[in-house]
Structure 1
Amino acid sequence: MMHALRTTTLCAAVAAVAALLAGCGSSVKLDDQAPVESRTGSGTTSTTPRAAATGPSGSSSVTPVTIPGGTVSAANLGRLVYFDFDSFTVKEDFRPLIESHAKVLATNKGKRMTIEGHTDERGGREYNLALGQKRAEAVAKSLALLGATDAQLEAVSFGKERPVVEGHDESSWAKNRRAELKDR
């Protein structure tokens, strides 16, 4: 009788641990390279890992983008890039913002920028630190592809430690899933 009780308790404990681990899992592989979108003149779009978009030395072979309309000042540009849940892919909506900051950095080689990656409160501390880092690196890679140098950029993560909005709903979480571009 005692042996059957121990076996039942052990099985229940193993099942509980398995359920807990399954609930903490994510389909996002944080070791993967951030996808980089490239467009050809024919209007087709392809997505490749960052390593495939760079030359042998790791530097970008993409020509910097020239934005018409005169001088762009970093002071009047937006500073936030938002992300989908459990994602570090930079959305097309933020392309103009990133292009503008890349132009400022490309024309001012002495200028430096820190990109801070943030997440919402869901998930473990370590996972969110890694996801925040991937978000910051994805924005930094986008800037580098458009003319900024790696020496001008620093990607750091704060994970879920610095929420911009306190709250436990989708609206709050969406505002906390971000990368902030800061001059240094």
Structure 2
Amino acid sequence: MRLSPALLASAALIALAGCAKTPKAEDLPPPPVEQSQAATPTPDAGPQPGSQEHFRAAVQSDRIYFDTDQSDVDATDRAVLDSQAAYLRQYPQVRVTIEGHADERGTREYNLALGERRANAAKNYLASLGIDAARISVLSYGKERPEATGSDEAAWAQNRRAVTVTVQ
């Protein structure tokens, strides 16, 4: 009895198909994650460490204030900066910018220079407490970004400040 070539080829294909390799469990991709198993942030988790909200909640204040035409750090300012330094020690990955501000009196150039001196005074104090100066940048806005509007001592006092802002 002679078998036809087509019949032999079909038999060979069927035999080979039966010997196909079945994948092992480690070769398979992981099963899809169900929506209920996915990690979702909880709304009550609080602000992210390193964010400005977290920083403000953890320190005494994010700003210090100065007297007219002054840029020296007084005892009240040192207490605020001490709390900021403690935060920065706890979160060594956090970088900050210290923004210097002035009230509306004086020329734009004078107030930019005064704002820079104020920001640098805060930076230098933090550096004296062991915070790496490379983590702190300074920026002066002079009188360009007032906290309070008005042309009286109460408004001016709020505008003579240095504000520490976390860098995201």
Q: TM-score range by the shorter chain?
A: 0.5 to 0.7
Q: 2:97 aligns with which of 111, 114, 121?
A: 114
* Alignment partner, residue 55 of structure 2: 74
* Alignment partner, residue 177 of structure 1: 160
Q: What's the CA shift string for 1:111-168, capped at 9, x where partnerless?
A: 1011000000000000100000000000000111112101110011000000011100
Map 1:85-100 onto structure 2 (within 5 A).
Answer: 85-100=68-83
Deviation of residue 104 (structure 1)? 1.7
Q: What's the CA shift string for 1:29-61, capped at 9, x where partnerless?
A: xxxxxxxxxxxxxxxxxxxxxxxxxxxxxxxxx
Q: Does 1:149 align with 2:95?
A: no
- Aligned letter for 1:134? R
- Which protein is bigger by CA-based radius of gyration? 2
User: How many Å separate the matches in 2 of 1:148 and 1:105?
Assistant: 7
Question: Alpha carbons of 1:127 and 1:106: their partners in 2 closer, same or farther (altered >3 Å)?
Answer: same
What residue ranges of structure 1 are gaps of 5+ in the alignment? 1-72
User: How high is the sequence identity, in percent, across the aligned residues?
Assistant: 45
DSSP 3-state at the match of 1:116: strand
- Aligned letter for 1:111? V
* Alignment partner, residue 83 of structure 1: 66
Structure 1-normalised TM-score?
0.59
Q: Does 1:101 align with 2:84?
A: yes
Show structure 1 runs of 4+ deviating over 4 A: none
* Alignment partner, residue 24 of structure 1: none
RMSD: 1.1
